[in-house]
A and B are shown apart, each in its own frame.
Chain A
């Protein structure tokens, strides 16, 4: 089966610009996650969707970050305006069920560099 797709793979922008990342989860996966991974650290959850509803966005900097999953399938994460500290890899993951035993499948990530 196809894995989690993300685009673009790389993005370079200047601070105060806007950027958007796209994720297409594995077909049939109801739960979708966005993680931020800063160099040298483990991934940190930004937001979690169950179908098109938000389950957890407690770590999402809502003054500049937004995410949506309008039809319960693919999702977009936006940063507006970007700061230098937003330089990171943005990982999308999906899982079949929302429970403790549900394995998460990760995409390859989008590497963002903010200059």
Chain B
């Protein structure tokens, strides 16, 4: 079945540092890939998406490129702010299947 693996553990970094969160997936066919963000006490917000190989999703300074050859969709941001502190989830959806499979999530803490 479809599955998503995110790197283990929280990520703590200083303001203006470079952020990378790794995400790899297992899926049949051609899934769509997503990054969601969850702030404390809230639901999930769609951050960005990519629907086919080599697509780059981007939003609010965050980027991720759909790499079919490495089955990856790593999230990056060049200069994080304290307001980026949240939990980030990588997710996939099989083609024509309205069902998201999520990774375990990564807590990101940005220190001033």
A complexed with B: no
